[in-house]
Amino acid sequence: MTKKILVIATVLLVHTAAAHAQQSGAVPDGANPAAESFPPAYAPPPGYTPPPTAAPQQRPQQPYYGPGPTYGGSQGGSPAYGAPPAYGAPPAYGPPPGHYPPPNYYYRYPPPPPRRVTDRPFTLGGGIGFGGVGWRDSLGNHADNGMAYTLRLGLGLRPGVILMWDLEGAWVDRNGNGMSQTANLAALQIFATNRLFLKGGIGLAAVVHTYNTGESNTSDWGGAAMGGIGYELIQGWNWSLDIEATVTGARYNTPGGGTEGWSNWSLVNFAINFF
């Protein structure tokens, strides 16, 4: 036990002396200069070579890329481009191919031209007005005013020209006795303007006497001719209202072998036409 205490005390003494010598910077005589950093108690064994000191690590060099490209001369700047290539004239295209318009159920394409008001393929009309009847016999000339009437049915030959069957007549009351002349004519009505028209025709006519006793007498048919003028006051899409004046003359054979001339006229006749 005493031996162990002596060994520990000796070691502590050596450590204390070494530390004191290191702090003072003195190197004991006969010490190894290579082991001067070690305390005397820890000198390296004979033949010990300290490991080589590692060289300091150097940072890798950055690669060198050289100067960047320069544009537009030595002073730098934006690149200079040459003139754009020259292009020729654009190709000439022909007209687009023809095509049909899309179907439309509300109007015709192209729209039809407006219909002329005098274009009347079919006409039906009639009217009444003021007129009279006149005749000439062995006693002289006679005339009475009365009522005129007309009725017509026509076919359009072309715009403004109508071929028609035309009935023209007049009726008068003479001292309680009635007299009338009615002519059935093949007539032609021609529009001089869109409203003014002329008409004329030929046919057959007959005179009817109606007596106050209730008896009546109808003459034979005689040749007749008619001429007239009219003006349409109102013109609708398929109808018109006109005012006209006509004169119709007829000649009859009498029982005694003579002839009589009769006429009927419409001085102001209002007629409505549908076409």
Neighbouring C-alpha atoms within 13 Å toward the C-beta of 133: 24
pLDDT recorded at residue 29:
47
Give the position of tokens 């000339």: 141
Using a 10 angstrom Cβ sphere, with 0-12 exposed, 13-18 middle and 19 or more buried, the burial of residue 265 is buried
In the beta sheet, which residues pair with residue 225?
Answer: 202, 249
pLDDT recorded at residue 205:
97
Q: Give the DSSP H/E element, type plus range, for residue 19.
A: helix 2-24
Evaluate whether 262 touches 249 at the Cβ level (below 8 Å).
Answer: yes
Say whether 217 sits in a helix, a strand or coil.
strand
Query: Model confidence over 233-260: pLDDT tens digits?
Result: 999 989 999 999 999 999 998 877 778 8
CA distance 269 to 247: 11
Query: Model confidence over 26-63: pLDDT tens digits?
Result: 444 444 444 444 455 556 667 767 777 766 667 767 77
What DSSP assignment string belongs to 88-144? -PPPP--PPPP-PPPP-SSS-SSPPPPPPTT--SEEEEEEEEEEEEEEEETTEEEEE
pLDDT recorded at residue 70:
63
**Which residues have CB under 8 Å from 243's CB, separation 6+?**
129, 230, 231, 233, 268, 269, 270, 271
pLDDT recorded at residue 75:
54
Domains contained in the chain, CATH given = 122-274 (2.40.160.20)
pTM: 0.58
pLDDT recorded at residue 132:
96
Positions in the chain short of pLDDT 70 = 1-7, 9, 11, 14-45, 48, 54-57, 60, 64, 66-80, 96-113
Evaluate whether 146 touches 175 at the Cβ level (below 8 Å).
Answer: no
Tell me the CA distances in angstroms from 187 to 92, 147, 233, one per residue in order: 63, 22, 21
In sign, the C-alpha dihedral spanning 240, 273, 181, 191 is positive
CA distance 147 to 128: 7
